[in-house]
Amino acid sequence: MSNPSCGCSGGILKTSEAADSLLAIDGCPLNCVKSSLEQAGFATFKHLQLADLGLEKCQSPVTDENVNLVASRAADLIVSQNRL
């Protein structure tokens, strides 16, 4: 499952392979995390694009409000994935 061109190190891939579920969080509209997982052979994972929450890379400050927004949406995705 390892693909050196995807940007994933061996340790990250082993940890990901052992996980019960995965949540890819992308801060860049290019979806690098999602693409890296797909290139490494992962087909089943949830994806959270921060731009969909109104957060732009290098433009959105790290505030309690923004962190809580991301954490809340991530939790929603994890819960919905565990229901499958």
Over the stretch 3-51, which tens digit does the pLDDT of each residue have?
444 556 677 788 888 888 899 999 988 999 999 899 989 999 999 999 9
Determine the pLDDT at residue 8: 64
Long-range residue pairs from 10-16, CB within 8 A, at least 24 positions apart, any chain: 13/40, 16/40, 16/42
Cα-Cα end-to-end distance for the chain = 24
Q: What is the pTM of this model?
A: 0.79
* In the predicted structure, residue 69 carries a pLDDT above the cut 50: yes
Closest CA to 37 of 11, 16, 10: 16
Question: Where exactly are the structural domains of the chain?
Answer: 4-82
Determine the pLDDT at residue 5: 46
Determine the pLDDT at residue 62: 96
